[in-house]
Chain A
Amino acid sequence: MYKILEREDLVPGIHLFKMAAPAVAAKAQAGQFVVVRIDERGERIPLTIADWDKDEGTVTIVFMEVGATTARLALLEKGDAIADFVGPLGVPAEIDNYGTVVCVAGGVGAAPVAPVARALKDAGNKIITILGARSQDLLFWEDVLKGVSDRLIVTTDDGSYGRKGVVTGPLKELLESGDKIDRVVAIGPVVMMKFCSLTTAPFGVKTIVSLNPIMVDGTGMCGCCRVSVDGETKFACVDGPDFDGHKVDWELLAARQRIYIDEEKCAYEEWRKSHAA
């Protein structure tokens, strides 16, 4: 069992757990993920590592309530434990001194972007971070990202905070400004990563996206998470989760995310009924 040492409700529907997982903490690197299972009946879901502390033996995850499993997870309190916490999985993010890197975080993507931005900054890059959320009340980790960025631009869809609009607006401006941008890292919802990649493509700036398709084991065993990159089938769990955004087949990814839409609804309903009772 893996104990929840700290719990923080970042914004409505998005929660942070600091987990006791010394073995995972000892090996974690930016860009990797863990597979979590709550209990005997639970499904295995992948969550990107948001932070870790080798000395403390802790790993931090941030998740959004989107279905039955994440809703059940959100009910757990500090001191509770979950059955399984497997990792660190996936290939770590490529870290090098590229020059200037724009990190784009959309919604819950703010959490996984943070360690990547930090590692890139430590490697000597100038970091410009664009943090986007639907509205101010869904915005979190502005301070964390500010701490690992040379410049931070915040956008909200409704203009309730920062610039009004979506993240691709400032991204396009940065690319058009004539300043040299050497690399873009985009982490967030599929549609946001897709449009970031479409925005950077005409400028020829390498754009890394972190894909989070449906997984089961997370170790290359099942092929559930297969994605098409440059016409080749890859397993996001072992070949990724990071891929070149210009080469990802976004239509396929979006379609595969919808495989279990009916079952997800059914499970959420079942959970709501039993939870209400």
Chain B
Amino acid sequence: MAKLNLNRVEMPRQDPRKRGKNFNEVALGYSPEQAQEEAGRCIQCKKRNCVAGCPVEVDIPDFIQAIRDGDMPEAVRILKSKNALPGICGRVCPQESQCEETCTLAKKEAPIAIGRLERFVADWERGNVPQAASSPPARPRPSGKKVAVVGSGPAGLTAAADLARLGHGVTIFEALHVAGGVLMYGIPEFRLPKEIVQAEVEFVASLGARIELDSVVGKLATLDEILANGYDAVFLGTGAGLPMFLNINGENLNGIYSANEFLTRVNLMKAYKFPEYDTPVKVGKKVAVVGGGNVAMDSARCALRLGADDVYIIYRRSEVELPARREEVENAQEEGIQFKLLTNPKQFLGNEQNWVVGAECYEMELGEPDDSGRRRPVVKKGSEFVIDVDEVIVALGTRPNPLIASTTVGLETTKYGTVVADEETGKTVKDKVWAGGDIVTGSTTVISAMGAGKRAAASIDEYLRG
């Protein structure tokens, strides 16, 4: 047996001192040589643990072999046959807890950099195959069935792609003015360039999915009306778009944003280009972001790039419990984001003009494990102190928007507002209606939403073929 190569090829990144001042992508991607070198480390296991770790079951060793052989078009073909959004997944999937975690070489702490290779293949196609030449795969024979997909985020796009490939007539209804959902409004340009999202949305459209923008289902047609209008099935992938707040004093002061609002202004509406673009966003000098997930990291790093002098992450547990990807925490630390751990806001203080000037916080300590298995944060009595701030971004997570559930007869929801659906198939209790992604699970990851979209598409197909 050949000697194992345990030297993971690093991916070049923008210098932290420079990137904190621009919105260009932080990670720069592999060169073809770097990709081939990394692909060369794959030992092509008989038992494909990596594929089992992938929610959309990409044939990982096969596309890696194609890279190794220098056959990039073949790598593209293999990858896109299972994953319509490889440029997106290669950038934002938590590979370290999925395919790379199950990679055989992970035991040696040097898993193949599958995510980076996936990204390389997607970028290679975009750079090397002109649009005209990358003609979409031949359309299958139409099934004569119509499926409505509500929401064009990762779950909806994936379900739409798979259903279109199976010959069904797919229409995607999107409430916003562009398709992509959280990929457009939530994840910042420097982590996921919007041009890449739109290229992959166009790929889904090229498979035959029609996209209706500005269509707020529940306000325009309701779900029941869509079904009555000739659709044979519906997939609900409207995500979790309702921001949660702390519900403490001072939270409605000027200068306090939900992460959803802040990121929507910056990413979707391009407020970082104000006044070239019309939507403004406030830029604080001292910005506190409350929360420790990926959205909190994104918000903090956007605030830094907009020109804040000090950006704090306020998180009530300790560093090991931070829910954000390790890589994103490291990126944030490198760029100078300051972590105020074991800290939790008590209230926000305002001035006479109703602007926020301070976050009064408690120091916390960790007690016994709670339901989530993490140690419960407990307030240290009398530990209150004030952090001077002029902007606060609340990134506590999101819940599903109640709009569709409240306008649809016979859809079952939980007390958290999520829609009840079968874990394997996405089937809801309502006839002809499937759901998947954050609307079912609450906020999770892009790839888990894609996995749910994929499983639901398979189940819808089975139902439609009766």
Q: A44-B269, A89-B219, A219-B403 are in contact. Are A84 and B280 (CB under 8 A)?
A: no
Stretch binding the partner chain, chosen from B129-137, B239-247, B333-341: B239-247
Docked pose: A219 CA to B274 CA in angstroms: 23
Minimum-distance CB pairs A-B, first 7: A263-B280, A255-B354, A222-B261, A43-B278, A43-B279, A223-B258, A221-B241
Between A41, A42, A222, A264, the greatest number of chain B beta carbons within 10 A of the residue's beta carbon is seen for A222
Query: Do the beta carbons of B276 and A41 come within 8 Å of each other?
Result: yes
- B320: min CB distance to chain A, Å: 30
Whether B401 pairs with A221 at a CB distance below 8 angstroms is: yes
Whether A259 is near chain B, meaning CB under 8 Å from some CB there, is yes
CB distance from A85 to the nearest CB of B (A): 7
Contact indicator B276/A256 (Cβ below 8 Å): no
Given A86-B175, A223-B243, A255-B254, also A68-B278 (CB < 8 A): yes
- Asked whether any CB of chain B lies closer than 8 Å to the CB of A163, the reply is no
A219 with B275: in contact, given A27-B219, A256-B252 (CB under 8 Å)? no
A123 at the interface (CB under 8 A from B): no
A252 and B276 CA atoms in complex are apart in Å by 30
**8 Å CB interface, B266-281 against A:** 269-270, 274-280
Known: A220-B403, A228-B252, A255-B254. A69 touches B278 (CB 8 A): yes
Nearest CB on A from B226, distance (A):
12
**What are the residues of chain A within 8 A of B242 when measuring CB–CB?**
220-221
* With A24-B220, A226-B252, A255-B353: A220-B401 Cβ-Cβ less than 8 Å: yes
Answer whether residue A87 sits at the interface, using C-beta atoms and an 8 A cutoff. Answer: yes
Q: Please, which residues of chain A bring their CB within 8 A of the CB of B220?
A: 23-24, 26-27, 88
Closest to B225 in A: A27
**Quick one: which of A246-265 are within 8 Å of B by CB?**
251-252, 255-256, 258-260, 263-264
The closest CB in chain A to the CB of B212 belongs to A23
Within the complex, which residue of B175, B277, B282, B401 is in contact with A259, where a contact is CB–CB below 8 Å? B282
Residues of A within 8 A of B215 (CB): 23
Q: Give CA–CA (A214, B259) in the complex, Å.
A: 16
- Closest B residue by C-beta to A21: B214
B274 near A88: Cβ-Cβ < 8 Å: no
A259 to B260, CA, bound (A): 17
B265 interface residue per 8 A CB criterion: yes
A256 to chain B, nearest CB (A): 6
A216 touches B254 (CB 8 A): no
Does chain B have a CB within 8 A of A11? Answer: no
- Alpha-carbon distance A216/B282, docked complex (angstroms): 14
Contacts of A238 in B (CB 8 A): 403
B-chain residues with CB within 8 Å of residue A44 when the two chains form the complex: 177, 269, 279
B176 within 8 Å of A (CB atoms)? yes
29 A-B residue pairs with CB within 8 Å: A23-B215, A23-B221, A27-B221, A41-B277, A44-B177, A83-B177, A84-B177, A84-B213, A86-B216, A88-B219, A216-B264, A217-B176, A219-B216, A219-B241, A219-B401, A220-B241, A220-B242, A220-B403, A221-B260, A221-B264, A223-B258, A224-B261, A233-B247, A252-B252, A252-B354, A255-B254, A255-B354, A259-B255, A260-B282
Separation in Å of the B338 CB from the closest CB of chain A?
A: 25
Q: Given the complex, which residues of B lie within 8 Å of A270, measured CB to CB? A: 275
B403 touches A223 (CB 8 A): no
Min distance, Cβ A213 to any Cβ of chain B, angstroms: 11
B460 to chain A, nearest CB (A): 25
